[in-house]
Amino acid sequence: MNGTITRRCSCRDPQTGKNYGKSCPKLSNKRHGTWVVVQELLPRQDGTRRRFRRYGLETATKATEELNKARALLALPDEDDPIGQMAISDLLEACAKNKEPLPDYDETRRRFATGQSLNSKMTVGEWLDLWLAGRKRLRVTGLKRYECDIRVHLKPHLGDVRLDKLRVHHLDKMFDAINEANIEIVEQNAQRRAALDLLKTIPWKGAENRARRKAVQESIDAMPPFRRVTGASTQQHIKATLRAALNVAIAQQVMSNFNPAEHVELEPGAKPKALVWTDERVAHWEATGEKPSPVMVWTPEQTGRFLDFIAEDRLYGLWHLIAFRGLRRGEACGLRWMDLDLAGESLAVATQLVQDGWEIIEGAPKTDSGIRLIALDGESVEYLRDHKRQQDKERREWGTAWKLTGRIFTQEDGSWLHPGKVSDLFERLVSAAGLPPIRLHDLRHGAATLMLAAGIDIKVVSDTLGHSDTRITRDIYQAVLDDLARAAAEAVVKLVPRARRRRSKGTSDERTA
C-alpha cells in the first residue's frame, strides 16, 4: 500500500480564494509550510477507500519517521491474514480521526501476537458490561449479586478508568470512599433514629405539641432513609467480583497479566458464627434488645416450644422440614410432589424458588452440592401425608380456579409461595410465640445444631445441608461444636465414679479422725 510525504501550506490565491496546495510559490522556501503524511490503508468492509493522514509536521525527517511508523504497524500481519490487516488499518484510521499519536510499536506487536484487543481505550465499565453479559450459565441469585456489585460500586468508582491503566491505587481509593460513606451512613442513621425517638415522646394533644410534631416530622422527611453500610464481607465480595472479571480479561488477552484486585488488602469478611440462645444470652437480649450475633439458633427446648405453638399452622410441614432437615427457604418453597418418595421416606432437592427483586423465579439449588437426596424420619412423613390431604381438600374447594403447580407447599389456590412472604410470616409466628428472635435461615442452622447434638457425623450433616465441604459446616457451627465438645468432656468425667473428689485450692480440707 502506497504512502507519501508532501509539503503544503494554507496560503490561498487572492484572485480565486482557493488553497494553493503544492503550487504555492513560497514553498521554495524550506521554512514555509508543513509536512503531511498520507498512507493508504486496507479499504473498509463496505469497500470504501481510506487513508492514514498526519498534518502539521515541521520537517521532512519527522514526516518520514511518522510514515515509517505507520508502515511498520501495517507490516505486522502476514499477507494472508486479512483479519489482522483490517485490525491494523482500523487502528491507524482511528488514530488519524482522533488526532492521536501512533501506538508504541513493541506494545502493539505484543498485543497483536497474543490476540489482545488493539484498542487500549476500553474502560473498566465497558469490560464489566461485556463480562457480565457473558455469564450466561450463572444462577439467577449469583448473577444478581454480580450485577449489584458492578452497578452500585465498581462502575461508579472505576467505570471510567481505562482497563489497561487500572492499578491497585484505583481500588484503594474506591474502598476508602466506601468506608467514608459508611461513616456518613452510620451518622445519618443515628440522626434519623434520634429524631424518630423524639417524635414518639411528643404528645398529640395541644396546638404547641402538634406544631412540634410537624416540625420534627418535616426534619425526618428531609433526612436520607435508613441505609445499610457496606461491610467487610460485602467489600470482599466486591473485590472477588472484580478479580473474577479481570481474570477473564487476562485469559482473553484483553489486558496484561497483572490483576490489581489480587493485591488489594481489605479487612477479612469473616462470616458470623452461629450462637445458641442460652439463658444468659436471652436475658441480655430481653434487657437490651441486642442480639449477640446475627446468626442465632434456638436450643432444642426452644425449637420444641415453637413447633408446639404453630402445630395448627397451615404450613406446619414446611416449618418442620426446615427445623429438622435444614432446607434452605427457596428449596422448601420449591419442593415438588414428584420429588417426594413417601414409601421410601426420602426427598430429592432438585429446584428452588428465589426472588429477583420481588418477582419469583424457579432455578437450580444454590450450589451443585445443593442437589441432594434427604432421608426423612417417620414423623416428617406423617406430617407430609397430612399436608397432602389438606392440599387435596383445598384443590376441591377451589375447583377450576386451582393452579396446578405440582408444589408441595403452596398458597391456598395452589400458586407458588413467595419466599419473602414466608420469611415475614415466620417472623410474626416467632414474635407471637414469645421466643428470642431468629431468622428463617437460622431455623436451618438450628437443624444442623440438632443433628450435631445428636452425635451425627459431620459429613452426614454437611451432606444433608447441601454444603460442598465439611469445612463450611465446621466454620459456620464452630461455636456450637465447642459447646458440644465441653458437654462431651463433662460426660466423660461423669462416667468415672468417685467416692471422694479433690477440693479446689483455697478451700479448707475437713478431716475426720
Asked if 45 and 87 count as a contact pair (C-beta separation under 8 A), the reply is no
Closest CA to 351 of 342, 359, 361: 361
- Phi and psi (nearest 5°) for 79? -65, -25
- Encode 11-48: b = buried (16+ Cβ within 10 Å), e = exposed: beeeeeeeebeeebeebeeeeebebbbbbebbeeeeee
Q: In angstroms, rounded to a whole number, what is the distance separating the alpha carbons of residues 115 and 500?
A: 82
Closest CA to 388 of 374, 415, 418, 409: 409
Q: In angstroms, rounded to a whole number, what is the distance separating the alpha carbons of residues 51 and 37?
A: 10
Q: In angstroms, rounded to a whole number, what is the distance separating the alpha carbons of residues 42 and 229?
A: 54
Asked if 231 and 215 count as a contact pair (C-beta separation under 8 A), the reply is no
Q: Which three cell numbers stand for residue 39?
A: 498512507
The per-residue pLDDT for 121 is 73
Contacts of 3 (CB under 8 A, 6+ apart): 37, 38, 39, 40, 67, 70, 71
The per-residue pLDDT for 500 is 66
Residue ranges of domains in the chain, CATH in brackets: 3-114 (no CATH), 124-263 (1.10.150.130), 275-494 (1.10.443.10)
The per-residue pLDDT for 508 is 47
Tell me 416's DSSP state.
Answer: B
Contacts of 71 (CB under 8 A, 6+ apart): 3, 39
Asked if 129 and 147 count as a contact pair (C-beta separation under 8 A), the reply is no
The per-residue pLDDT for 392 is 96
* pLDDT by position in tens, the chain (length 513): 789 998 888 888 888 888 887 788 888 787 888 889 999 999 988 889 999 999 989 899 999 999 999 999 999 999 889 888 998 998 999 899 888 899 889 888 877 886 767 766 788 998 999 899 888 777 777 788 899 999 999 999 999 999 988 999 999 999 999 999 999 999 999 999 999 999 999 999 999 999 999 999 999 999 999 988 998 889 999 999 999 999 998 888 778 889 999 999 998 876 777 788 989 999 999 998 889 988 898 988 999 999 999 999 999 999 999 999 999 999 999 999 999 999 999 999 999 998 876 788 888 776 677 788 999 999 999 999 999 999 999 999 999 999 999 999 999 999 999 999 999 999 999 999 999 999 999 998 888 888 887 888 888 888 888 887 777 777 766 656 566 566 656 666 666 676 765 565 554 444 443
Contacts of 496 (CB under 8 A, 6+ apart): none
Closest CA to 140 of 357, 307, 424: 357
Q: In angstroms, rounded to a whole number, what is the distance separating the alpha carbons of residues 215 and 203?
A: 13
The per-residue pLDDT for 209 is 93
Q: Which three cell numbers stand for residue 235?
A: 467489600
The per-residue pLDDT for 468 is 75
| Cα distances (angstroms) measured from residue 249 to each of 121, 142, 244, 254, 265 | 14, 20, 9, 5, 21
